Amino acid sequence: MSRKTLDSSAKSTGFVEVDPLECPFREFRDNELQVDNWGLGPAAFRSQNQVGKTPTKTPHDTHHPWVDEQTQPLPRSVRNYLHGWIRAEQLALDRWNAEVVIFEENDGGRMAIGDMQLSHAQVLFRSSFCRKILSACFILERVEGLMVEQQSEAFTFVYPPEGWRPKYHIYSPGTKPGGGTQHKPGLSKTGCYLVRLFYLGAWRCVWVSDQVPVDTSGAPLLPFSPLLTHAPSKPGSKQAPQAVTASVVYLWPLLLTKALLKLAAPDMNSDEDSHCVEDEDLNEFDTMHTLTGGMNLRYYVPDYEDLWVRIITEVPLFSWDDDDETQPSTIKSKSTKKPTAKELAAVVKQNI
pLDDT in tens, 79-114: 989 999 999 999 999 999 999 999 877 656 678 777
Within 8 A by CB and 6+ apart from 94, the residues are: 86, 218
Where residue 3 falls among pLDDT bands split at 50, 70, 90? very low
The pLDDT assigned to 314 comes to 84
Buried b (16+ CB within 10 A) or exposed e, 245-283: beeebbbbbbbbbbbbbbbbebeeeebeeeeeeebbebe
In a domain, 2, yes or no: no
**Inter-CA distances, 176 with 92, 186, 253, 255, Å:** 27, 11, 21, 19
DSSP state letter for 117: I
Q: Which residues are registered as beta bridge partners of 202?
A: 199
Bigger pLDDT: 240 vs 140 = 140
In a domain, 135, yes or no: yes
CB 227 within 8 A of CB 142: no
The pLDDT assigned to 244 comes to 59
The pLDDT assigned to 271 comes to 62
Four-point Cα dihedral 321, 326, 327, 329, nearest 10: 110
The pLDDT assigned to 220 comes to 95
Query: What is the phi-psi region of residue 331: left when phi exceeds 0, alpha when psi lies from -120 to 50, beta otherwise?
Result: beta
DSSP state letter for 152: B
The pLDDT assigned to 348 comes to 43
The pLDDT assigned to 8 comes to 47
In a domain, 27, yes or no: no
Question: CA–CA separation, 117 vs 235, rounded Å?
Answer: 25
The pLDDT assigned to 329 comes to 46
**Phi, psi angles (nearest 5°) of residue 37:** -100, 5
The pLDDT assigned to 344 comes to 46
Q: Which of 101-110, 313-322, 325-334 has the lowest mean pLDDT?
A: 325-334
Residue 219: domain span? 65-292
The pLDDT assigned to 234 comes to 56
The pLDDT assigned to 12 comes to 44
**% of the chain residues with pLDDT over 70:** 71
The pLDDT assigned to 254 comes to 96
Q: Where are the alpha helices (DSSP H) in the chain?
A: 3-13, 42-50, 76-79, 88-96, 113-114, 121-126, 128-140, 252-264, 287-292, 304-314, 341-351
pLDDT digits (tens, 9 = 90+) for 126-158: 999 999 999 999 999 999 888 898 888 899 999
- Residue range 119-124: average pLDDT? 87
Question: CA–CA separation, 62 vs 55, rounded Å?
Answer: 16
The pLDDT assigned to 230 comes to 53
The pLDDT assigned to 89 comes to 95
The pLDDT assigned to 165 comes to 93
Mean pLDDT for all residues in the chain: 79
Judging by DSSP bridges, how do beta strands 202-209 and 192-199 pair with one another?
antiparallel
In a domain, 344, yes or no: no
Determine how many CB atoms are found less than 10 A away from the CB of residue 351: 8
Return contacts of 179-182, CB within 8 angstroms, 24+ apart: 179/148
Number of domains present in the structure of the chain: 1
Bigger pLDDT: 3 vs 117 = 117
Bigger pLDDT: 200 vs 307 = 200
pLDDT digits (tens, 9 = 90+) for 259-300: 999 999 888 776 665 667 788 888 889 999 999 998 888 777
DSSP assignment of 173-196 equals TTPPTEEGGG------TT-EEEEE
In a domain, 312, yes or no: no
Query: What is the phi-psi region of residue 136: left when phi exceeds 0, alpha when psi lies from -120 to 50, beta otherwise?
Result: alpha
Four-point Cα dihedral 115, 119, 121, 126, nearest 10: -110
In a domain, 190, yes or no: yes
In a domain, 97, yes or no: yes
Which of 187, 206, 183, 179 lies closest to 195, judged by CA? 206
In a domain, 110, yes or no: yes
**% of the chain residues with pLDDT over 90:** 37
